[in-house]
Amino acid sequence: MATEKLFEYTEDSIRSLDWREHIRLRPGMYIGKLGDGSSADDGIYVLLKEVMDNCIDEHTMGFGKQIDLTISDRTITIRDYGRGIPLGKVVEVVSRINTGAKYDSKAFQKSVGLNGVGTKAVNALSHYFKVTSFREGKAKSAEFEKGILLKDHRENRTDENNGTLVTFIPDDSVFRHFHFIPEFVENQLWNYCYLNAGLVIQYNGKKFVSKNGLLDLLQRKTNEEDIRYPIVHLRGEDIEVAFTHNNDYGEDLYSFVNGQHTTQGGTHVAAFREAFVRTVREFFKKDYDTSDIRQSIVAAISVRVQEPVFESQTKTKLGSQTVYEGGPSMKNFLSEFLGRELDNYLHKNPSVAEALKRRIEQSERERKELAGIKKLANERAKKANLHNKKLRDCRMHLNDEPPVRGREEYVSKQLQTTIFITEGDSASGSITKSRDVETQAVFSLRGKPLNCFGLTKKIVYENEEFNLLQHALNIEEGTEGLRYSNIIIATDADVDGMHIRLLLMTFFLQFFPDLVRDGHVYILETPLFRVRNKQETVYCYSETEKRSAVSRLGAKVEITRFKGLGEISPDEFKRFIGPDIRKQPVFLEQHAQLQHLLEYYMGKNTPERQEFIVSNLRIELDTVE
C-alpha cells in the first residue's frame, strides 16, 4: 500500500517550472558539465562564451570593432561597442526565455545564438548579474541575484558610446571551488579573433587581434620547422580552410560554425574529411587509404550557416545538413569548394603537392609495417584478460550502446567518465574502493612504463603495458573512439611518482597528442599532509597550507605526511576523487614545439636540463624553508 502511495501519479505530480528554476535544476542542459574550471569545456567558460557570443554577433553585423574583457578573481566584466540592447527590453532580454532579436533572421543572419537562452542561463547561474545598455546617449541597467531581479534602474543620460556592459559572478553553489585558467580563456579569445579578422579584444591588459584568420590560427598551433609544407589557406563565400601536415601522429582539426568552436565536430567536419580525401585521390589519380591521407594533418575549417542546428545548447556539434534553406547540402558544399580551390592550388604549387604526396606515402609505409604487429597485439590483449586484471571499468561501459530513453542523462554521465592510471596494488586498491563505480575506472600499471621518446609507434604494440593501455582507452584506431572524457594520471607525490607522470605524458604526447590538445589528460592532486586535532581535520596540498593549518589549529596537532596514495584510506580517498576533486590539466602552450619539448625533458641529459633542475631545486628548497 505504501509503495502504491509512493508512485501515485495525479494532477499534483505535475509541476511547471519557470525559466530560472528549470535552468538551475538542469544546468547541464544549458551549459554542459559544471566542473571547477580545470577543463576547457567546463561551465564557467560556457558562461563567458554565451555573453561573448552576443558581442561577436554585433561585430559580425558590422557594429563594434572592440570588446573589453576583465576577469578579476571570480568577477567577469564584458563590454562591447555594438548597438546596445533596446532600452525598453533590457530586463526581458536577460530574464525571459525565448526573448531576443535572433528570431528575426534579417537582424542576425548567421548568428551562433538562436534560441534566446544564453544570457538567461548566465543570469540564472550567477550569484550576481548586472546588465547595462548604452544607446543613443541613454543608459539602462538591471541587477539580478541567481536570476531574481534585485533592481530595475531608471534610464539616465550618459556620455558612453553605444554598446552593452555585463558583469557577473558565477554561483559557487553551482560551480564548486571554481577558478579560471588564463590559458583556456586566452585560447577562447584567440579563436574569436581568428574568425573575425580585425576584431580587437582587450583582456586584462593584453591585446588580441588577428589579420589573417585561420592562417594565423595554424601558424600559432604549428612550428615552421615541424611542418612538411607551407600552410595552405583557402577562402570562399561562407567558408575558410587552412591546413598542412607535420610529423606528429594523429589528426589535429579545429572546426568552427558562425564563430563557434565546435569541439565535437559535426556535419561540416565529416564533410571536410570526406571532401579532402576525395580531392587528394583525384588529384594524384591514386586510391590512397583514407587514414594515410589524414594522418598527421593539422587543419582548421570555418563555415557560416544560416540558422544553424546544433545538437545541444552548448553548440559543440553541428547537426545542420544544409548551408542555408534551399541551399546545397553540407557535403556538396565542401566537396565543390575543395574540389575546385584545393585542386587549383595543388596544380599551381607543385612543390606543395610533392611534399603532400611524400607525407601520405610515408604514412602508408608505416601503416603496412604495423599491420602484422597490431594483429598480434590485439590477440595478446585478449589473452591478458584486460578487463579483469588491468582495468576495473565503470558501469557506464558495461553497455556502450546509448539508451533510447534518458539520452540527455547518458551524455551528461559520459562527460564525467574518468579513468585513473596508477601504479602498484596499494594505490590502485585505494582508488578502486573509493571510486564512483558508475563513471570512474582504474587502470593499474605494473612498475614504471618505458621512456618511449624517439621510438616509433611500433613500440605501442610491442610493449605490453602500452598495448593494454591503448586498448583500455580504445584509441588503437585513433582518438575518436576514446571511452573516457577524463584521463587522470594518479601517482605518488615522490620522485618515483613524478617520474611515472613524465613517462606517461611522454607516451601521450609522442603517440596520441590529440588527447592532450583536446584537454582529456590531467594530473590528480592529492594532499601531502593531514593536520588534525580533536575537533577538526585539515588536508593540505603544500607546505604553505600545512603551516597555515598548524597555525590555525594550534600547536598540539597531529601531522601525517602521505608518502604514497596507498597510505590514504579508502574512506578518506573518496573526498579527493569526488565532487571536490583537484586535477591539474595537461596542456600545450600555443607555440610549443612538441618534439623539442620531449627531447628537452626526456632525451639524453644536456647541460641545459641539468641547469634547469638545479635552479628549480634551489627555488623549491627556499620555498620549503
Question: pLDDT tens, 481-504?
Answer: 889 989 999 988 788 888 899 999
Q: Where are the beta strands (DSSP E) in 171-306?
A: 200-203, 206-208, 232-236, 239-245, 252-257, 260-261, 297-303
Helix (H) or strand (E) holding 2: helix 2-6
Enter the pTM of the model. Answer: 0.80
Cα of 137 vs its chain's centroid, Å? 41
Cα–Cα distance between 33 and 417 in angstroms, integer?
A: 11
Of residues 143 and 571, the one with the higher pLDDT is 143
- Give the closest residue to 516 by CA, choosing from 506, 531, 525: 506
Task: State what percent of residues in the chain have pLDDT above 90.
Answer: 42
- State the DSSP string of 352-399: HHHHHHHHHHHHHHHHHHHHHHHHHHHHHHHHTTHHHHTEE--GGGTS
Distances (CA, A) of 539 to 36, 98, 431, 544, 552: 19, 46, 17, 12, 13
510 within 8 A of 597, measured Cβ to Cβ: no
Cα–Cα distance between 137 and 61 in angstroms, integer?
A: 21
SS3 state at 317? coil
By the 10 Å C-beta count (0-12 exposed, 13-18 middle, 19+ buried), 378 is classed as middle
Most confident of 128-132, 498-502, 545-549: 128-132
Cα–Cα distance between 228 and 216 in angstroms, integer?
A: 17
420 within 8 A of 472, measured Cβ to Cβ: no
- Give the closest residue to 316 by CA, choosing from 394, 391, 248, 414: 414
Buried b (16+ CB within 10 A) or exposed e, 328-338: eebbebbbebb
Lowest-confidence region among 64-68, 383-387, 521-525: 383-387
The residue behind cell 546509448 is 402
Sketch out the chain's domains with CATH numbers.
20-208 (3.30.565.10), 214-366 (3.30.230.10), 384-526+562-592 (3.40.50.670)
Residue 113 has pLDDT above 60, yes or no: no
Most confident of 259-263, 413-417, 619-623: 259-263
Q: What is the pLDDT of residues 217-247, one digit of tens each?
A: 999 888 888 899 999 999 998 899 999 999 8
pLDDT of residue 302: 93
Lowest-confidence region among 130-134, 372-376, 546-550, 620-624: 620-624
Residue 47 has pLDDT above 70, yes or no: yes
> 3-state secondary structure string, 543-571?
HHHHHHHHHHHCCCCEEEECCCHHHCCHH
SS3 state at 125? coil
Q: How many Cβ atoms sit within 10 Å of the Cβ of residue 605? A: 8
- 245 sits in the region (left: phi over 0; alpha: psi -120 to 50; else beta) called beta
Q: How many Cβ atoms sit within 10 Å of the Cβ of residue 282? A: 12
Q: How many Cβ atoms sit within 10 Å of the Cβ of residue 22? A: 15
pLDDT of residue 413: 72
Cα–Cα distance between 581 and 526 in angstroms, integer?
A: 9
Instruction: Considering only CA atoms, give the Rg of the chain.
Output: 26
- Give the closest residue to 502 by CA, choosing from 602, 620, 608: 602
Beta bridge partners, 585, equal: 522
β-sheet with 260-261: strand ranges across: 232-236, 239-245, 297-303, 252-257, 260-261
Q: Which long-range contacts (CB under 8 A, 24 or more apart) does 594-598 make?
A: 594/226, 594/248, 594/509, 594/513, 595/226, 595/247, 597/509, 598/453, 598/506, 598/509, 598/510
Q: What is the pLDDT of residues 603-625, one digit of tens each?
A: 776 677 777 777 766 544 444 44
Residue 355 identity: A
Query: CB under 8 Å to 260, separation ≥6 — which residues?
Result: 53, 112, 310, 315
What are the phi and psi torsion angles at 59 (to 5°)? -60, -45
Residue 115 has pLDDT above 50, yes or no: no
> 3-state secondary structure string, 151-199?
EECCCEECCCCCEEEEEEEECCCCCCCCCCCHHHHHHHHHHHHHHCCCC
What are the phi and psi torsion angles at 621 (to 5°)? -65, -40
Cα–Cα distance between 139 and 86 in angstroms, integer?
A: 10
Lowest-confidence region among 297-306, 385-394, 507-516: 385-394
By the 10 Å C-beta count (0-12 exposed, 13-18 middle, 19+ buried), 105 is classed as middle
By the 10 Å C-beta count (0-12 exposed, 13-18 middle, 19+ buried), 122 is classed as buried
Residue 212 has pLDDT above 80, yes or no: yes
DSSP 616: H
Q: How many CA atoms lie within 13 A of 239 on its CB side?
A: 19
Task: State what percent of residues in the chain have pLDDT above 70.
Answer: 87
Cα of 302 vs its chain's centroid, Å? 18
Cα–Cα distance between 272 and 279 in angstroms, integer?
A: 10
